[in-house]
Amino acid sequence: MSSDLAIRVRGVGKAFPSFEHPYQQMLHMVWPKSRPAGEFQALSGVSLDIRRGEAVGIIGRNGSGKSTLLQLISGILTPTAGTVEVQGRIAALLELGAGFNPEFTGRENILLNGSLLGLSQGEIQARMGDILAFAEIGDYVDQQVKTYSSGMFVRLAFAVAVHTDPDILIVDESLAVGDIYFQRKCHKRIEELRQNGCTLLFVTHAADLLLQLCDRGVVLDHGRLVYDGEARNAVGEYLRRVFGDNSAPAESAPGPAAAPSGAAAAEVVDAGETALAEFVARGAVDCFHQRAGYNRDETRIGVGGAATCDFLILGPQGQGPVLSGRERFSIHARYEIREPNDRLVFGMRVATVDGTVVYAANTFSTTGTLMVRREPGVVVANFDLRCGLTPGQYFVTLGVSKFDDQGHEIFALDRRVDAVIITVIGDKSACQGVADLEAVIGVADAASGEPLEVR
């Protein structure tokens, strides 16, 4: 194993026995050589090299084998096939409170967990003040851990892990717990560890978090490694597999987050124009479910007479549901008008994961005009937008409606609610909340009016 490698995985597979009846499982525990009813293959033929100081994010659907891979690398599980080699001290946050005894106090668990991570009692005591300051659980440190909230639990577990001077830090979704202040504190500490040469292996379902923390992305699907490369492309491949099986593969996904310029920008524009022309040419064919970003759990409502057939998202990086904050992009929607209609309204809405509407607009609210009459046929609505959202994932609703005969009330002909998921990437430290209002903040001396010096 090369000295510049922290982790080397070669042809690793992991199978778990499955049983049809409980007594078979008990028999297998007593007599391991007894044959199980079958096997579940969690991982198959995974090979991976991770260099020292790299930050690698592992992403994939539930059941894709992410946590199993981390447990193999951490030494908790042994592979059924292949080899795993690791160089350096590992600190692993694989499960909330793993390695903690609920009957012990927080302080006792710090000593216990630190020992498990390879520190002497003297080294743990020397770090005790820093650990307690980071965890910020106050006097609870001398109470039994079983009385802790989940947030207190993960604060203490994370504090211990990141103060053991690990060569490799492995995190499995643990950063999703805690308030935004603590999450930011964790990210800052991870950056400090990375600057000191620590290798980060990070599992998450949050695409924006992977892009923020990691340089490289690995996608697992049904126990197999299907993509290993640049983080943004990895997110594109993950979204393609989750939301749209027939969209472009990772190799043609958008490149780095920086906007292209010159010849590269011209290529993106040409590709966008080609994609839009192909989009329009599909006519009344319903391709909604084929697009990356399609939400299979959408809600569809309406009285009929029209159908929302397809959507296309175009931005400076190309097409797809991954957007960069503060950049312009467009959403194109194609509709089939199935019977003569008048007073039509075409609209869209953006909402957070918890359903809070952050933006909504339609052709009437933005222009004050209505389509007087439309015979059956296909129409395309183009929504030209600027991404003023903070990093995260959002749901987009698209649809066509109409006013009643009196022109007072609007009702849906076909509305696809939360049918599209977009992922916004950017620097979370720049602002908090949902909307990015792009504040420019100046501070001046009250007496002289002179701006304060900025360092």
Ordered by where they begin, the domains of the chain are 5-252 (3.40.50.300), 263-426 (2.70.50.60)
When mean pLDDT is compared across 257-266, 307-316, 332-341, 427-436, the lowest value belongs to 257-266
Q: What are phi and psi of 65, to 5 degrees?
A: 105, 10
At residue 435, the 3 state secondary structure works out as strand
Residue 233's pLDDT is what?
83
User: Which of 77-81, 199-203, 261-265 is predicted least confidently?
Assistant: 261-265
Q: What DSSP character marks residue 226?
A: E
Q: Name the band, by pLDDT with cuts 50, 70 and 90, for residue 252.
A: very low
What value does the mean pLDDT of the chain take?
Answer: 84
The pLDDT of residue 62 is 85
Alpha helices in 77-201 (DSSP H): 106-116, 121-135, 150-162, 180-195
| Mean pLDDT value across residues 37-63 | 89
In terms of Cα–Cα distance, which of 292, 376, 394 is closest to 335?
376
Q: What sign has the CA pseudo-torsion 102, 104, 110, 112?
A: negative
Predicted pLDDT at 276: 92
Residue 144 has pLDDT above 60, yes or no: yes
Confidence of residue 227 (pLDDT cuts 50, 70, 90): very high
**pLDDT tops 70 at residue 408:** no
| For residue 51, pLDDT beyond 60 | yes
Residues above pLDDT 90, as percent of the chain? 40
Q: Are 66 and 48 in contact (CB under 8 A)?
A: no
**Cβ atoms 58, 7 nearer than 8 A:** no
- What does the pLDDT average to over 170-187? 70
Counting beta carbons within 10 angstroms of the beta carbon of residue 443, is it exposed (0 to 12), middle (13 to 18) or buried (19 or more)?
Answer: exposed
Average pLDDT over residues 366-383: 85
| CB atoms near residue 232 (< 10 Å) | 23
